[in-house]
Amino acid sequence: MRMRKKGLIFLLCAMMLAVSAVSFAEYSTLRPGDSGEEVRDLKKRLQELRYIKDTADLTKKYTDSTAEKVREFQQMNGLPETGEADEATLALLYSDGTVKKPYPTMPPLAEQAEKPVPDWPERDSEGFLAGEEASYVYENDEAGLWVYLSRKLQIVINRYEDDSIPLVWFETDIRTREDETFRTVQTDPERPGKRFQYPDVIATDAGLVLGLSDDFFAARMDDGETVGIIIREGKIISTDTYRKNGHHLPNLDMMAQYPDGSLQVYTCNEITAEELLEKGAVNVFSFGPLLIRDGEINDLVYRYYRDTEPRHALGMIEPHHYLVLSVQGRNKESKGTNLQRVAEMMQERGVTQALNLDGGNTMALVFRGRMLNKLAVFKNRAFVRTVTSLIGIGYEPEAPRE
């Protein structure tokens, strides 16, 4: 009797294992005609990886459209393009090593004419000034080329144009060494965010070789809005930021400047002002969104921020090597661009960390007392906003003012 019971139990276990095996086999490969939660999970994962856009497609049915998306995934990931989610496809689909569908990139800009070659002074192997002169300056407004050299600082500004859009932009390449670094200038350090003034006046009064508009925290402070985490020269000005990372403008993502010459971007709620100071942050700019982090473009710029506007961004290629991208807009010469274009341009030039600064009519690029960008037009008026602070580098107290 006991032997019969044992045999019956064995038979039941075998049957259960067989049923389980059939069930596993049924769903180890998903194909057109299948349906169920496994198919829905497959589609959700494909959506995470950008192969499916429309949420309405997240049904339980494996359709011909699903097969096409799977085929596209297989092509991008080097698998046989069967359109069926077999074991190898599913394993890669749910792994960390899967390849996301790339976003469409912006159309290429027009090729640029060669710039004139300055009559370079004596320079060392790294391109810094090596002769007896304290500094070297080259200014060619017609060609759109401005240069400043010293023993610790290199600034090369190029203006480029694409008449087909139309678009005008400035690429400012900055290299530093030793103790040369960015510094921030405020019109009233005792009352941050007060005493508004034009950017070129602030830059000239401070003797900056290069001045650029920043996060314009004063406007948010003045309007009673959420300001963001703001640190200037090691002093906390604001700790007020968003609890969640969003896609509004500004979303108050930030960039911290450190004494070793590095810049690092963070989301608005990722780190506190006190933690930033503990890490050694000297300045923290809060506007956003962050454009590039560790060489990768922020997904948000592909999904949002599509308006064509004047844009302004600061990025680091590596410590002591930076790029400022300033795009004119809101005028006949240049309509502006979206943040995807800005992020892609900076990534192409080797930028590894980048933050979107305040653009629009705030954007200003000031070289030796002169604002190089043309004024943007807003409500039928051409102007640049007055601000209370700038990012600057280099010191030249006798720079001319126009």
40-59 in b/e form (b: 16+ CB < 10 A) is ebbbebbbebebbeeeeeee
pLDDT at 256: 98
Per-residue pLDDT of the chain (402 residues; tens, 9 = 90+): 444 444 444 444 444 434 333 333 344 799 999 999 999 999 999 999 999 988 888 999 999 999 999 999 999 999 999 999 999 999 999 999 999 999 999 999 999 999 999 999 999 999 999 988 999 999 999 999 999 999 999 999 999 999 999 999 999 999 999 999 999 999 999 999 999 999 999 999 999 999 999 999 999 999 999 999 999 999 999 999 999 999 999 999 999 999 999 999 999 999 999 999 999 999 999 999 999 999 999 999 999 999 999 999 999 999 999 999 999 999 999 999 999 999 999 999 999 999 999 999 999 999 999 999 999 999 999 999 999 999 999 998 765 545
pLDDT at 191: 96
CATH 1.10.101.10 maps onto the chain at 2-93
pLDDT at 1: 46
In the structure encoding, which two tokens stand for residue 30, read together? 């998903």
Contacts of 179 (CB under 8 A, 6+ apart): 152
- Where do the H-state alpha helices sit in 139-272? 199-205, 217-222
In the structure encoding, which two tokens stand for residue 381, read together? 């008026």
The H or E element containing residue 355 is strand 353-356
In the structure encoding, which two tokens stand for residue 143, read together? 């060609």
Per-residue DSSP letter, 35: B
Backbone angles phi, psi at 46, to 5 degrees: -65, -35
* CATH hierarchy code of domain 2-93: 1.10.101.10
**CA-based nearest residue to 118, from 70, 78, 155, 169:** 155
pLDDT at 11: 45
Backbone angles phi, psi at 401, to 5 degrees: -120, 140
Angstrom CA distances, 330 to 219, 334, 348, stand at 20, 7, 25
Q: How many angstroms separate the CA atoms of 248 and 251, rounded?
A: 5
SS (H, E, C) 48-64: HCCCCCCHHHCCCECCH
SS3 342: helix
pLDDT at 9: 44
Q: How many angstroms separate the CA atoms of 271 and 294, rounded?
A: 17
Edge-to-edge strands, sheet with 370-371: 183-186, 389-395, 208-213, 365-367, 370-371
